[in-house]
Amino acid sequence: EDQVTQSPEALRLQEGESSSLNCSYTVSGLRGLFWYRQDPGKGPEFLFTLYSAGEEKEKERLKATLTKKESFLHITAPKPEDSATYLCAVSMTTDSWGKLQFGAGTQVVVTP
Amino acid sequence: DVKVTQSSRYLVKRTGEKVFLECVQDMDHENMFWYRQDPGLGLRLIYFSYDVKMKEKGDIPEGYSVSREKKERFSLILESASTNQTSMYLCASFDRTSYEQYFGPGTRLTVT
């Protein structure tokens, strides 16, 4: 069965304390892996797309990496404004374009 | 900027009522999606559409239907609302060029 699992469920960080979020997937054929950020009461906001193992993408304090079985979202020296729920999603080659399967998310809280 | 708008941010309906949730996008995207989001379960796909008058069932279509009469508008219909349909509903639009999915702000529906 195709699955997307995120860990941990929740993460509490001190400002400046770097950490990583994990997204592991078991799918029959990966077309792409996506990271989103979601603030409370809002829709998810696109961050990154990764297509192949070894690929990395960066945006400010965030860096996403991809292997054949999992993806990591590294948060370097986080600030309180990085507090959000981070969602991982996969697109499978067996699915229609744009159809995504989401993980349950990791809720990140960064305290001053 | 891509804009995806949803007709209501908050909605309270009674059991058995017919409920319409509307979504409009302004970027001429062919693909549009309806998800529901529940704590611990992540986003689950209800229905999606890849063209006007075309629709496909997602992972949890039971109790829902959709309508896509115009390219920019995708409506989700709860034929007879039930309490287990209390949830956050998110609409999304997909850009086939950038492969990004853009979300609306969500509608928090409560069925009493």
Structural domain total, chain A: 1
Does A103 sit within 8 Å of B99, measured CB to CB? no
Q: Which residues of B touch A (CB under 8 A)?
A: 4, 31, 33, 35, 40-45, 48, 50, 56, 58, 90, 92, 94, 96, 99-106, 108
Pick from A34, A43, A101: CB nearest B104? A43
Q: How far, in Å, CA of B90 to CA of B109, rounded?
A: 11
CATH number of residue A68's parent domain: 2.60.40.10
Q: How far, in Å, CA of A7 to CA of A102, rounded?
A: 13
Local structure of A17: helix, strand or coil? coil
CATH number of residue B73's parent domain: 2.60.40.10
User: Which tens digit of pLDDT belongs to each residue from B55-101?
Assistant: 999 999 999 999 999 999 999 999 999 999 999 999 999 988 888 88
User: Which tens digit of pLDDT belongs to each residue from A63-107?
Assistant: 999 999 999 999 999 999 999 999 999 998 777 778 899 999 999
Q: Are A86 and B42 in contact (CB under 8 A)?
A: no
Its domain, for residue A11, covers: 3-111
Q: How many CB atoms neighbour CB B62 within 10 A?
A: 6
Its domain, for residue B37, covers: 4-111
